[in-house]
Structure 1
Amino acid sequence: MAVVTSIHNRLPDSDTFGGRLSRIRDAQGMTTAALARRVGVRQKTIEQWESDRSEPSVERLSLLAGILNVNLVWLLHGVGDAPADEIGPDPLAAITVQLERLKRMHEDTGRIIDRIQREVTRLEEER
């Protein structure tokens, strides 16, 4: 008797949409700028999608899945066929890319904190 495997027998990818998007983009060696050009959006838009601060439209989701050659349902929900080799042949390179992504996110967070602090200071001075 053959064993049938369905997407429901596998655990879904527990990462967020942005995490999956970032992982597959990194695994394919594509920069956020390159992906933005191919999708027709600003680089900042890709960065916001990857950090789960916004989500693409249905049309852009379909375009992303096609450009990145991944299953749309996996990209969106983490269910179904995941890319066979997300890390790629060089784990050190993949980890380095993720580290750079974290550094950029850290810098973005610092800028946001600075902006909020300036606004708080300004409001306190107006009292």
Structure 2
Amino acid sequence: MIGNTIRELRKEKKMSQSELGKFIGVSQTTVTAWETGRAEPSSTFVSKLADLFNVSTDYLLGRSDSKKEPYYELTEKEKNDIAVQAEKLMDGIESGENLNFYGEPATEEQKERLLIAIQTAMEMNKRKAKKKFTPKKYRD
């Protein structure tokens, strides 16, 4: 069931249902409905979930045991480069005016979550770029 897969992948990313919903543009109630099997995500959201969790849509839908799309998977070097870029971005944010959430200084937990969000977004963009610029003969 797709709901179980979504739950497992969300927990691997250490995300709450609310955080997942915000990332892909749905409410926490919708994520709960997907995870409990009361509803299923549309194809648009299946694609967004696959990008976010770095898995194939076939894996999400239970059509494949393979999580990855082989060529588009990021290498360890690419992941490390993204992590360095994300850290630099966070340093830049923190070195400017204080990083605040709702008028209060950001906690270490909030900063860590922001870093995870930045890295995830950067990884998604890198995979999309790799997919876009892959010569046709190498595409799936």
TM, length-normalised to structure 2: 0.46
CA-CA distance at 1:70 after TM superposition: 1.1
Are residues 1:57 and 2:42 paired? yes
Residue 69 of structure 1 is matched in structure 2 by 54
Unaligned runs of 5+ in 2: 69-140
- The number of equivalent residue pairs is 68
Secondary structure of the residue aligned to 1:41 is coil
Partners of 1:65 and 1:72 within 8 A in 2: yes
Point out 4+ residue stretches in structure 1 off by more than 4 angstroms.
none
Q: Identity over aligned residues, as a percent? A: 31
> What is the match of residue 82 of structure 1?
67
Report deviation, 1:80: 3.5
Cα shift readout 1:72-92 (whole Å, capped 9, x = no counterpart): 101112514137xxxxxxxxx
Q: Distance in 2 between matches of 1:72 and 1:47?
A: 19
* Structure with larger Rg: 1
Contact 1:18 1:49 (8 Å CA) reproduced: yes
Stretches of structure 1 lacking an aligned partner (at least 5 in a row):
1-15, 84-127
CA RMSD of aligned residues (A): 1.3
